[in-house]
Chain A
Amino acid sequence: MEHILTPKVENVKLVDKFNAKASPLGTLYLTTTHLIFVSNASASAPMAAPPPEPPNPMGEGAGASGGGGATNLGGFVHGGAKKELWILHTLMHTVEKPLLTTSGTQLRILCSHFQRLYIPFYVGSASFIIQRDRDAHDVYLSLMALSKPKEFKDLYCFTYNPTGQVQKSTGWFFHDLDAEYQRMGVPNENWTLCSMNDQHRLCPTYPQKIFIPILASQAIIEGSSRFRSKGRLPVLTYLHKNNAAIVRCAQPLVGISGVRSSYDEKYVECLRKATPRSPFIYVIDTRPAMNAMANRAGGKGYENEKYYENINFSFKGIENIHKMRSSLKAMMTSVANATTMEGFMSELANSSWLKHVKAVLDASVAIKNCILEGKSVIVHCSDGWDRTSQTCALACLMLDGYYRTFQGFQALIEKDWLAFGHKFTDRCGHLDGDPNEVSPNFTQFLDAVWQLTQLSPQLFQFNERYLITIHEHVYSCQYGTFIGNSERERELLGLREKTYSLWGYLTANYDDYTNPLYERSTQMEVMRPTTAPQNIKFWSGLFCRFESGAHTREPIIDLLSVTQNHTTSLEDHGRQLSKTIGQMTSLIANAKATGAMRRMLPTSPSNKPSVTESETSLTSSSSSSTISHPLQMSSNAANADFEHMEKKFTDLKASIMEQCQSRFLSLKLPQSIAGLHSTTPSKVTPPISKEKAIKNDSSQRATSSSPQFIPMSEAEFNSDVVLSKELLEAEIDSVAVDWKSLRSSLTCPCGFRLDDNATTKIHCRRCGCVFCKRCIHRKVPLPGHLSKKPMPLCSTCCKLIDYPTPDSDDEPDEMNALDAFEELNSMT
């Protein structure tokens, strides 16, 4: 709070680069977490009470533009649409304030997720300039302080507390390094778990559990660790099905004089032997040869093929972090300033970004090829946490289809980036630190992944938006996942307890990130990408993300996703309809049969639901093949044996029913709460007493299903009221057969613009109209769906369908995330 010098500045303009006329005039608010711009036209409408309190009116919408969409209002528009822009301070990469000119003063903000803001301070008259300049300077100073916090505790993730979102713990326990190694079949007869790095004694930047060849003795390991930069000795990161392994480490401390370490040499030999029948092991130094040699002057270097037996050593030529940093900077300037095709392309070439991406991909392909040859690879760069992470992760992605699924990709990032100590906080500049440590390595990795997704879209379960969202949150500091420089640091910060995990958020919203073109059968496939320069493209979806007019206006992926969701809804509805039709048919058949029977047995009461009738309706709800059964039974009605049987049968049924119910309650309690809660309007109770109410309820029902004949049959009869006219109509009405096309839905009924590719658009499953994320009231199961999976509904439909507003959204949503995760698990 102490950094905010001016909480509010009126009459500022936000310049739209492509359409200067559309640049809106509005008010700038400065909160502890966000910079907010609200245009004058609707300044009063969208937010009743803007700052001083850090507002969080949209729940997660505030910062999570990937999902919420609030910060997606990059492109401003004419008309009466809402204009609101939220920028998280931590996302601001650079804030500039050029010198004061006669036309006024302005602020330039470039964000880490590549949004650019130009905010000239509107000048009414010349004499006003000085005052405006002071305002601008205040905002500038505030932003400078806020965008680069000094300490971890000031990061947004420690205060971020969304409402109606997944629980804090969700996502933190999705991925376990142990389980990941087990999936690869480690430990096995060649590889073993090494306990020497407990409490990070051996290497503070490695995970506690490391896997090494079974042959390596403790002395060898310690010796090798001493001989490697930062103690980062070679350890297993991926074991392929053919027993070839990717091993990662840091450079050896060779120096000018060519120091040797017998331990390290022995260790490399152990590594080779860990892959049976492999005559040699590849050693890939991802740096250019020049850089590696230069490192020798600093006491480091690379393996000498003379001293290490049976190695095949090669350099791969990926440039260092400083080159990458300046390359991205150059590319972003070229993108911002290019107006001609030549200018754009030559600037793009000059920036070398694509060249670097290609180099990373080429090195990864080389690693992949070694593995496919059946030989193990040792990969390192300087410290083994930038280029090594990139290339190992990409090679894994090509080799193993699991990593191309939602969880696999998360597991991959957890393993090769987070566990092995990529310095996210330093590289992303989360804190006010050394600018020379900042480098877009992770951005580059995502870019390379994107290139692969472009080459084989059917191999990836996730879409482009998934990558973009991950990219944004690596920088946003909204989630604790990417805070800190190593596993050890993250443990010390207590991020698991204090912050939310990005994986939880992504999993709860995985619908947004599903690639409709994904073929599950490709999981076993190894990717063999052609990395010809013609295949390496400029990723405008990320780097020009906020230049909304420049992207395809009809994104096929979104359209196909929508179509798939629509199909799912329709198929589910179809199943429900078939079921109901089955019930109806047998009901009618039974009714006809009963009618016939009534004529046959004049003693049966004709008006009231009789024993026979209820019995009939009872069986009718089962398959129609048993229709003949009640007839047979009632024809024997006089039989005492039958009565006895009947009695026994009912007893059995009651006990089973009870069993069912109790199991149902004990096993699926939270879900049944959600279900019962939302479907029994007469029993709206506060959440605390919900459970109790249900227990009462069930006990009542249990008594009602006691072996007394009449109440039992009544209960049974009630169970069959699914077939009341009202409910049947509700069943039909609750699912939209046709969905509005995305093209014709440019705005949400609330006025929010939907014409931007990045904005999430959701179809209400009941009315088929398109809404923004904020207008989707909640997810509820629909009567027309057999699966009763909760589906998104707009608020109008929610009312129409007569589900009460819940007292708290947490529970169903929480279930949602976990369910989603389980579902994903079961899929992969």
Chain B
Amino acid sequence: MTFHPQYLLILHRGIDAIIRRPNPTNNQTNGSILVKCKDLRIIRIDGTSFDELNSVAQSLEKLAAIDDITRSFAFSYTPDFKPLEDGWNAFPLEVEFSPLLISQSSDWRVSYVCSSYPRAVIVPSSITDEQLISSANFRQAGRFPVLSYRHTTGQVIVRCSQPLTGPQMRRCKDDEKILAALIHRQRRGFIIDTRTQSVSQSAKAKGGGFEVEQYYPRWKRINKSIDRYHFLLDSYSKLMEACTDTSTSCEKWLSRLTISSWLTHVKEVLNCGCLIAQCLEKEYASVVVHGSEGMDISLCVTSLAQMILSSDCRTIRGFEALIQREWVEAGHPFWSRTSKGAFNESVASKSKSHAPTFTLFLDCVWQIYNQFPCSFEFTEKFLIFLADQAYCSNFGTFLCDNERERELLKVKEDTLSLWSYLNRPEILEPYINCLYDPNKNIIWPSVAPISLNLWPGMYLRWVLGPSPSTLAFEKAQLIIKRNKDARTNVVRLRRKLIDLMGEAEKLGLLEANPEGDEKDKMADEEVAAINNGIHMVNEIEATL
């Protein structure tokens, strides 16, 4: 796509890779550099002197490589608007779970024990802080089981990291008690391990492991195979490589898309999200989800299950709260994960810490949205906006890797929350779905291969221009608006007519017709014709 904006602003953090092209095919310039951005844009800069371009490229590379959070733009960003609310405190945990804490006060309480978790998490109230600390020591990175979601029927989703059983099959009584407390009234629960059986087996050798079923009675373990970390980044890179080449043949495109296995990942994650939702809704069982650290795929699948089960999460505010709670506060390491994007080919990018997990999650949400376009208060634009914000942003929401770091760096004090920016009517307006019709039902997406599509609005937006659905969306807005206007008008007219009828009745003009039904129901066409005649008569009369 060629376009000619008057100016272009890109945060250094948003630059993913820079490619130098000293020998351009075009003779008018001496070279060009391609700036590949994390929002999947590729910008070509042509120049007359290649040395000059090269130095630009070098500076950009250095600037983009700055990994010091405190030097990010969010700290120096001064808003040109007055926030209506403080996004940092928009979704406090106690408020988000207030119905739960009030009604179920005996079962759940707020715990302020912390490690990589936020200041406060929700745990069974029968468990003491000492037991939590004991459990935290038994789980990787201290991520003991905490509540993620409680279904209307009482079943819960709890997430944690893998237990550190190690090769000796160690156990932790307190940890067992926590899990037992989760299902003390229910028949059974499921532990969903997002790794394959073999991966979790081999994790034992490294000190990790999985819950041994004999120590956790009534819990059944299920392994799901979802790739993570650099596999995802690799897949994402291949996907974008395929997407940006529009001149290939159909076969090549399809085979590259297949090789990228991005859609396979989407399918697996979505599948796992559905599985969790099914456990809660169909099996009436609670679910504990963990992978190894429980801060990537675990968050992905627990939030997806909530999108399926809870209609609140499908509203704009609910979705913001979900991201704040289940991603930002739950300790998804946004800063590390987003430091490299799809186009980065350096060796370092193959390390464990970079992964487009959040983009994958948004893709899965889009797949559900695509199947239920009227059940979401927001549109795909909102998802794309969030995906870009996660990679680089003027705001502090996605800075740092967890809450503790944010506190240390005073992120909340020194930067503005994304939600403060977003939650203003004039900003939200383009993201509101005009087709939204609140849907309290549980929405079960289809995960059949024919139901899953590549997300063109996301991956092809710079390649093929705005997707047709965007154009269609504008027209849809008009249609909906016209309908609303027509309805208001009819309601108003009816009221007026009824008033008039009352008045006419008072004047005695509207008594039941004594001539009976027969003449009452004269053909309407005839009436029209006669009226027409009268009109003509009046005209003639006027001339007379």
Residues of chain A whose beta carbon lies under 8 Å from any beta carbon of chain B: 335, 338-346, 348-349, 352, 354-355, 358, 454-458, 516-517, 519, 530, 532-538, 540, 544, 547, 549-554, 556, 559-560, 563-564, 566-567, 570-571, 573-574, 577-578, 580-581, 584-585, 587-588, 591-592, 595, 618-619, 621-622, 626, 645, 648-649, 652-653, 656-657, 660-661, 664, 668, 671-672, 675-676, 679-682, 716, 718-719, 721-728, 732, 735, 737-738, 741, 743, 781, 783, 788
A626, B490: Cβ atoms under 8 Å?
no
Bound Cα distance from A344 to B257, whole angstroms: 12
Closest 4 CB pairs of A and B: A344-B449, A349-B254, A533-B253, A532-B246
B534, A622: Cβ atoms under 8 Å?
yes
Bound Cα distance from A392 to B398, whole angstroms: 54
Q: Which residues of A contact B248 (CB under 8 A)?
A: 533
Nearest chain A CB to B496 CB, angstrom units: 6
* Partner pick for B504 among A341, A560, A588, A664, CB 8 A cutoff: A588
* Partner pick for B468 among A455, A570, A585, CB 8 A cutoff: A455
Residues of chain B whose beta carbon lies under 8 Å from any beta carbon of chain A: 243, 246-255, 257-258, 261, 263-264, 266-267, 370-375, 435, 437, 439, 443, 446, 448-454, 456, 460, 463-465, 468, 471-472, 475-476, 479-480, 482-483, 486-487, 489-491, 493-494, 496-498, 500-501, 503-505, 507, 509-513, 515, 517-538, 540-541, 544
Bound Cα distance from A549 to B511, whole angstroms: 56
A726, B512: Cβ atoms under 8 Å?
yes
B479, A672: Cβ atoms under 8 Å?
no
Nearest chain A CB to B312 CB, angstrom units: 18
B471, A649: Cβ atoms under 8 Å?
no
Q: Quick one: closest A residue to B507, CB to CB?
A: A591
Q: Which residues of A contact B510 (CB under 8 A)?
A: 723-725, 728
Bound Cα distance from A352 to B254, whole angstroms: 10
Can you show 7 pairs from A to B with CB atoms below 8 A apart?
A340-B267, A550-B448, A553-B443, A573-B490, A621-B531, A724-B512, A732-B494
Q: Which residues of A contact B453 (CB under 8 A)?
A: 537
B449, A660: Cβ atoms under 8 Å?
no
A649, B544: Cβ atoms under 8 Å?
yes
With A552-B370, A622-B535, A721-B522 in contact, is A664–B501 under 8 Å at CB? no
Bound Cα distance from A358 to B480, whole angstroms: 35
Nearest chain A CB to B54 CB, angstrom units: 32
Q: Which residues of B contact A346 (CB under 8 A)?
A: 254-255, 258
Q: Quick one: closest A residue to B376, CB to CB?
A: A554
Q: Which residues of B contact A455 (CB under 8 A)?
A: 468
Contact residues of B: prevailing secondary structure: helix
Q: Which residues of B contact A675 (CB under 8 A)?
A: 523-525
Q: Which residues of A contact B249 (CB under 8 A)?
A: 355, 358, 533
Q: Which residues of B contact A552 (CB under 8 A)?
A: 370-373
User: Which residue, B464, B472, B530, B532, has most C-beta atoms of chain A within 10 A?
Assistant: B530
Nearest chain B CB to A145 CB, angstrom units: 34
* Partner pick for B541 among A649, A680, A681, CB 8 A cutoff: A649
B496, A581: Cβ atoms under 8 Å?
yes
Q: Which residues of B contact A726 (CB under 8 A)?
A: 512-513, 520
B538, A626: Cβ atoms under 8 Å?
yes
Q: Which residues of A contact B526 (CB under 8 A)?
A: 661, 664, 676, 719
* Partner pick for B509 among A454, A587, A664, CB 8 A cutoff: A587
Contact residues of A: prevailing secondary structure: helix
With A577-B494, A588-B507, A591-B507 in contact, is A725–B515 under 8 Å at CB? no
B247, A554: Cβ atoms under 8 Å?
no
A354, B479: Cβ atoms under 8 Å?
no
User: Which residue, A354, A570, A571, has most C-beta atoms of chain B within 10 A?
Assistant: A570
Q: Which residues of A contact B460 (CB under 8 A)?
A: 534
* Partner pick for A540 among B373, B450, B487, B493, CB 8 A cutoff: B450
Starting from the known contacts A577-B496, A588-B507, A652-B540, 4 additional A-B residue pairs (CB-CB under 8 Å) come to A457-B468, A532-B463, A534-B463, A567-B479
Q: Which residues of A contact B255 (CB under 8 A)?
A: 346, 349
B475, A458: Cβ atoms under 8 Å?
yes
Q: Quick one: closest B residue to A580, CB to CB?
A: B497
Q: Quick one: closest A residue to B255, CB to CB?
A: A349
With A534-B463, A724-B510, A728-B497 in contact, is A454–B468 under 8 Å at CB? yes
Bound Cα distance from A457 to B479, whole angstroms: 15
Q: Quick one: closest A residue to B534, CB to CB?
A: A622
A591, B509: Cβ atoms under 8 Å?
yes
With A533-B246, A534-B460 in contact, is A340–B449 under 8 Å at CB? yes
Q: Which residues of A contact B372 (CB under 8 A)?
A: 552-554
With A552-B373, A656-B533 in contact, is A664–B263 under 8 Å at CB? no
Q: Which residues of B contact A671 (CB under 8 A)?
A: 525
Bound Cα distance from A556 to B252, whole angstroms: 32
With A550-B451, A723-B510 in contact, is A354–B250 under 8 Å at CB? yes
Q: Which residues of B contact A781 (CB under 8 A)?
A: 524
Nearest chain A CB to B393 CB, angstrom units: 28
B373, A554: Cβ atoms under 8 Å?
yes
A719, B522: Cβ atoms under 8 Å?
yes
A725, B448: Cβ atoms under 8 Å?
no
Q: Which residues of B contact A563 (CB under 8 A)?
A: 479-480, 483
Bound Cα distance from A358 to B250, whole angstroms: 7
Q: Which residues of B contact A649 (CB under 8 A)?
A: 537, 541, 544
Q: Which residues of A contact B456 (CB under 8 A)?
A: 534
Q: Quick one: closest A residue to B496, CB to CB?
A: A581
* Partner pick for B482 among A567, A619, A728, A743, CB 8 A cutoff: A567
Q: Which residues of A contact B513 (CB under 8 A)?
A: 721, 724, 726
* Partner pick for A458 among B370, B375, B471, B519, CB 8 A cutoff: B471
* Partner pick for B452 among A341, A553, A626, CB 8 A cutoff: A341
Bound Cα distance from A677 to B165, whole angstroms: 85
With A559-B374, A675-B523, A722-B527 in contact, is A728–B501 under 8 Å at CB? yes
Nearest chain B CB to A436 CB, angstrom units: 26
A725, B251: Cβ atoms under 8 Å?
no
A584, B468: Cβ atoms under 8 Å?
no
Q: Quick one: closest A residue to B250, CB to CB?
A: A355
With A564-B479, A577-B493 in contact, is A342–B522 under 8 Å at CB? no
With A341-B452, A456-B468, A533-B249 in contact, is A553–B519 under 8 Å at CB? no
A556, B258: Cβ atoms under 8 Å?
no
User: Which residue, B247, B471, B472, has most C-beta atoms of chain A within 10 A?
Assistant: B472
Bound Cα distance from A724 to B515, whole angstroms: 11
Q: Which residues of A contact B468 (CB under 8 A)?
A: 454-457
B507, A592: Cβ atoms under 8 Å?
yes
Bound Cα distance from A722 to B500, whole angstroms: 14
Bound Cα distance from A622 to B533, whole angstroms: 10
* Partner pick for A574 among B253, B443, B490, CB 8 A cutoff: B490
Q: Which residues of B contact A352 (CB under 8 A)?
A: 250-251
